[in-house]
Structure 1
Amino acid sequence: MQNTPLWLPALLLALLLPGLASAEKPSTEKPSDTQSLAGVSAGKIAWDINMASPKKLLLYLKVMDETYEDLKRQGVEPDMVLTFRGPSVRLITTEHAEVSLDEEVQREGIAAQLAAMLAKPNVRAEACSVATRLNNVDPETLLPSIEHVGNTFVSQIGYQAQGYATIPIM
């Protein structure tokens, strides 16, 4: 068996290092949506939220917030309404009497995420009175800044007629 000269690994390392150091790192910058946003100045979205999982709702609220920021970053003015219906109305209340401890943390996250979003320009939220009635949610316990409306199906019809894109969150 032949012994490798001690200087050979050092030589290989010296030859490879410049190439490794100059290798481009993957871009951390988010890609743009240039083609889809061509000629668009306002991003009108009516989120149709109908889910029972607090974990999923918290995740989707973060994605909705990222969508808002992505529109702003690309020069499009966001205009968003979050319409809560079905079991989702149970997740946007201050009443947590019969909630497990792990779900309590997620609900606190939901309340904080919603508060941050609703503090932004052109973001508002509605809760369906049909859903609050069917899910035994007292409208007085809805999180601050959430408007209690007659029927979010009617809201969706109105928002679509006004040019809002409906995006279902289920």
Structure 2
Amino acid sequence: MKKLWIACVLATSFLITGPLVQASELNNKAALDGIQEIKVIYDVRKANPNLLLAYLKGIESNRKNLALEGVKSTQRIVFIADSVKYITSKPSDDVSIQHGDVLKKIAEQVKRLKSLGVEMEACSAATAAFNVDNDTILPGIQVVRSGFLSVMGWQAKGYQLVPIYN
């Protein structure tokens, strides 16, 4: 009976006072201490368009959170593999039928990221493999010879890799 009473007291006090750490207190000070600027390259290879959209929104959130930490960020995205099927103005019929609504949201998010200064590239080897016409890649995304070469090059220029794989 005593254990039940203690559990009730603890549960009640939690409900009254709320969680011990408020969201406004959350930070990444330990990891970002002394860092004034960060350059990041996202290697995006998502086969699920809903997850692709979620990660594109996450990239925007990263930008905001870095600013809250006082860190200037330069972000780049390289779309490789299946992800190129979802960043085109003329998706295949099956992709369009299955994912039409989310494709519109992806296009809107790409436009938003571009307006925030995020640079984006698409791998032409992937567009060829998935029969995506390079001329239909969404505005703001530059088609490059090889996404892998871009990832290597940006890393050689000091960009930190964030892999976003299936």
The whole-number CA distance in structure 2 between the counterparts of 1:133 and 1:141 is 12
Secondary structure of the corresponding residue to residue 106 of structure 1: helix
Counterpart AA for 2:162:
I
Deviation of residue 92 (structure 1)? 0.3
Give 2:18's aligned residue. 25
Is the aligned partner of 1:104 residue 2:97? no
| Aligned 8 A contact 2:85 2:91 in 1 | no
Is the aligned partner of 1:128 residue 2:111? no
Q: Which of structures 1 and 2 has the bigger CA Rg?
A: 1
Is the aligned partner of 1:156 residue 2:151? yes
Secondary structure of the corresponding residue to residue 107 of structure 1: helix
The whole-number CA distance in structure 1 between the counterparts of 2:65 and 2:26 is 10
RMSD between superposed Cα atoms in Å: 1.9
Q: Which structure 1 segments of 5+ residues have no match?
A: 1-18
Aligned residues: 150
Counterpart AA for 1:118:
K
| Aligned 8 A contact 2:44 2:78 in 1 | yes
Is the aligned partner of 1:117 residue 2:113? yes
Deviation of residue 101 (structure 1)? 4.3
Secondary structure of the corresponding residue to residue 142 of structure 2: strand
Counterpart AA for 1:105:
D
Normalized per residue, the structure richer in helix is: 2
| Aligned 8 A contact 2:36 2:71 in 1 | yes
Q: How many percent of aligned residue pairs carry the same amino acid?
A: 33
Deviation per CA, 1:69-119, whole angstroms, max 9, x where unpaired? 110111111111100011111110011351354511111111111111110
Secondary structure of the corresponding residue to residue 29 of structure 1: helix
The whole-number CA distance in structure 1 between the counterparts of 2:74 and 2:159 is 9
Q: Which structure 2 segments of 5+ residues have no match?
A: 1-11
Q: Taking structure 2 as the reference length, what is the TM-score of the superposition?
A: 0.83
Q: Taking structure 1 as the reference length, what is the TM-score of the superposition?
A: 0.82
Is the aligned partner of 1:71 residue 2:66? yes
Deviation per CA, 1:113-141, whole angstroms, max 9, x where unpaired? 111111013x1100011111111110111
The whole-number CA distance in structure 2 between the counterparts of 1:113 and 1:136 is 23
